[in-house]
Amino acid sequence: MKNQFELRLLSIGWMENLDEELDLCAHGKVLARIGNTILSDASQGTWTVSAAALFLLRTLSLDHTPAAPVGDQLLPCCGFTMWPNPDAVSGDVLVFGCPNGADWSVEHTAEEVRLTAPEGEQAVITSQEYQHTVLRFVDEVHTFYQSSKPKAPQDDPEDAAGYEAFWREWHQRYQQVSG
């Protein structure tokens, strides 16, 4: 198998029962595969792909392991609450959701990234290939936001601060890797 890691956005949208202007989180189906292990595909649930994109951006510079996660899951079911993290030097936003999702480990070496499925299958790819795959996913999610209606102002100041912190971290991390 030529490509040992596959990550593709299969669909994206807003929640059906909520006005587009009020839904802060994009949702969709994702194909995620490490080696022969399918972590997510079209037959599985819908993930919060906006939170997934942020968590994946974090993995471009940080390892994601059970002992040191960048988020609860790399493909979270939910990401319904965002708060600025006052303890984080980097300004990371806290994204809370339910305990469901699809996950795998990401560990960096000098020039490579080791991806490990929960069942143990591993793939080692170049850092450049990993970055390209993640940024393609992130770009698709960002393009969806850009082509959507503007979000309504948040009534709750904490919700507004969390949403601002989410996009601030997104753009900071994106700029760090894309120049």
**Sequence spans of domains, the chain:** 5-178
Q: Is 172 helix (H, G, I), strand (E, B) or coil?
A: helix
Confidence (pLDDT) at 66: 95
pLDDT at 79: 83
Contacts for 97 with CB less than 8 Å, ≥ 6 apart:
48, 51, 72, 76, 77, 78, 79, 80, 81
- Rounded Cα–Cα distance for residues 156 and 98 (Å): 21
Query: What confidence score (pLDDT) does residue 88 get?
Result: 67
State how far the Cα of 165 lies from the Cα of 172, in Å rounded to an integer. 10
Report in angstroms the alpha-carbon separations of 40 from 21, 65, 87, 93, 155. Answer: 28, 18, 33, 25, 35
Give the pLDDT score at 126: 97
pTM of the model: 0.95
In this prediction, residue 154 carries a pLDDT of 87
- pLDDT confidence of residue 10: 98
How high is the pLDDT of residue 153? 87
> Which portions of the chain are predicted below pLDDT 50?
none
Alpha carbon distance 94, 73 (integer Å):
13
Q: What is the pLDDT of residue 85?
A: 86
